[in-house]
Chains A and B, each alone.
Chain A
């Protein structure tokens, strides 16, 4: 009898000293990371990661990189609106306080964005210092569906991820099909003016213009070459003669309607100035995450009004319900997308 009890005791001791079950995954940088089988709390290292975790598993989100503004909170689940703020963990000199990160006791840290040697070594460093598994995920827009599936598997929400990924696949496939039918001449050249002055834009290949280019638009600023964000002059914009102007700031949109210099542009004369919606996360560029999927719908509708019948409202409602977990009422919907410059 005592032998049996002894055996039970021994097995119990052994079982209790086993680590919580874990699995190995390979992240986008090729790093093999051990993560817990069940991931309950996730810390997002930067804004695109915040979006990704929020859409996949809002209940697992440990906190924000920066506090959402009141108008953004209106479009987020109540439970996440007041989560703590941790700052950016993007490596050396990010603003996250390491102790706060540790105190939050996340199971893993997720970082979505560019994957290269710098971020891989930073991930290794943070992981070595804190002991928290750090997972890098490639945030390229074309990979949206794959990104959703991979991260869903990591977070333990594969069915949900599949639903979102299917949406992304479908959307992108439909887009490609429709675009194939639109000849090159009908594709507008678009100038995306950022900031209050509207004189900041992304050059060809910049991450800000990623979905613009995916939506078939020609980046008017491509004439100035390849690169990232840059300041341009009014003269340059006038010389590019864009067909459509997208504004990140309503101030810019309003200002140019009455500005005699900007009014030289056909786009302004024709009233083809549109303010890119930005709630709760930017629809076109910032942050560069899956939030941009709804931007595709909006761009289709805005750039090719004839080719894409007006079902933007429905699209937005579906997206917001599926991704952001919120039901939009008419007022909210109108507020979101009815923000074009007045005609």
Chain B
């Protein structure tokens, strides 16, 4: 099955669908589902009068940030995944490949362990993610005359193992009643307490990170040809690769700092997007972003409504993502149906 959707109408359709989904998401929640609460809150906003003072809090302080975060985080992770899959010429890699998630985890876990304020924990996560990838790419640059892509992957594996050991160490030392649950839930990913401020605070990093991904979207195609071909076609592969990795890492680290680790989006969504619109990054990038945003919106809706307590997002995305991944492997579909 391959449907190469033609560009403009599909994009418009996609955005419209996304907007509708976001609107629908604003109407779901334990406080009260359906259009009623949303319209009442809007009326309150405009006219200043309403019967329920808590309604505004629920809609604008609890639901809206989550909807915004879902859109932004879903799009970012999918974009990063698509970028990595292209750079590493493998339709089955995720943005975690070079260690951004594990580095961010170490930052956050260390922050929780050291009892830092929340803002500091988020910053630590962001910085941790960047540092991990910096280490990996640094190692990659030290090694010459080997396939640079393979070198990065191997360095990524090693750094991740090292950082993972650090995280396990901290978990052992952590207070089991307060810190350890906080650490565990952070690692599982959630958007329970996301605020508008959280979302706005990552917009600069997201903006900066997206710039190279968008500007280099056609060159990205050439990068998928591999080192030799791309070089002989005239691209400075080292610079291009670094800039693209930096962009993808920035957006991933930014999202991980506010939501913890949400896996499988960066892996599975670009894959599906590629099956729908083909591998041309000019189409793949926007398609993946829209799909990623929609997917996370749906998953987030489930997380906050299927049980009496919140289900961590990482669990839901894995429950949906992993079987799909296995099906892809087994049915022999290798990303180019």
Q: Determine if A128 is an interface residue (Cβ-Cβ < 8 Å).
A: yes
| Docked-complex contact B185 and A230, CB < 8 angstroms | no
CB–CB B193/A92 < 8 A: yes
Within A78-118, which residues are at the interface with B (CB < 8 Å)?
Answer: 84-88, 90-100, 102-103, 105, 113-114, 116-118
Q: Is the CB of A87 within 8 A of B31?
A: no
Scan B133-177; emit 1 where CB is below 8 A from any A CB, else 0.
Answer: 000000000000000000000000000000000000000111111
Nearest chain A CB to B333 CB, angstrom units: 34
Check if B195 is an interface residue, CB within 8 A of chain A: yes
Q: Which residues of B contact A251 (CB under 8 A)?
A: none
Query: For the side of the interface on B, what is the size category?
Result: 35 or more
Interface-central residue, B57, B178, B189, by most chain A CB under 10 Å: B178
Known: A85-B308, A228-B172. A93 touches B260 (CB 8 A): yes
- Return chain B residues, CB-CB under 8 Å to A130: 57, 61-62
Query: Do A98 and B192 touch (CB < 8 A)?
Result: yes
Chain A residue nearest in CB terms to B258: A92
Q: Which residues of B contact A84 (CB under 8 A)?
A: 308
Bound together, the chains give a CA A228 to CA B121 distance in angstroms of: 21
List chain B residues, Cβ under 8 A from A94. 181-182, 185, 192-193, 310
For the complex, give the distance between the alpha carbons of A139 and B175 in Å: 13
Query: A93 contacts which of B29, B117, B176, B192 (Cβ < 8 Å)?
Result: B192
Nearest CB of A to B146, in Å: 40
What per-residue 1/0 map shows which CB atoms of B170-204 lie under 8 Å from chain A? 00111111111110011011101101000000000
**Chain A proximity of B316: nearest CB distance (Å):** 13
Among B30, B176, B195, B260, the residue within 8 A (CB) of A99 is: B30
B193 touches A207 (CB 8 A): no
Check if B30 sits within 8 Å of A228, measured CB to CB.
no
A287 partner residues in chain B, CB cutoff 8 A: 177
Contact A97 B186 (CB under 8 A): no
Q: Is B112 an interface residue (CB 8 A)?
A: yes
In the complex, what's the smallest C-beta–C-beta distance from A62 to chain B, in angstroms? 13
- The answer to whether B195 touches A125 (Cβ under 8 A) is yes
In contact, A97 and B260 (Cβ under 8 angstroms)? no
Output the least CB separation between A281 and chain B (Å). Answer: 13
| Least distance between A183 CB and chain B CB atoms (Å) | 33
Q: Does B242 contact A (CB under 8 A)?
A: no
* Chain A residues with CB below 8 A from B172, complex form: 227-230
With contacts A95-B310, A99-B31, A121-B119 known, is A228 near B174, CB below 8 A? yes
Contact check: which of B111, B121, B173, B309 meets A97 at CB < 8 Å?
B309
Q: Are the C-beta atoms of B193 and A129 separated by less than 8 Å? A: yes
Asked whether B54 is an interface residue with its Cβ less than 8 Å from the other chain, the reply is yes
Across the A-B interface, the 3 shortest Cβ-Cβ residue pairs: A93-B185, A87-B309, A121-B117
18 A–B pairs (Cβ distance < 8 Å), ordered by A = A46-B177, A46-B178, A92-B260, A93-B188, A94-B185, A94-B310, A97-B308, A99-B58, A99-B62, A99-B63, A113-B177, A114-B179, A118-B117, A128-B195, A227-B173, A228-B172, A229-B176, A230-B172
Q: Which residues of A contact B (CB under 8 A)?
A: 46-48, 84-88, 90-100, 102-103, 105, 113-114, 116-122, 125-126, 128-131, 206-208, 227-230, 286-288
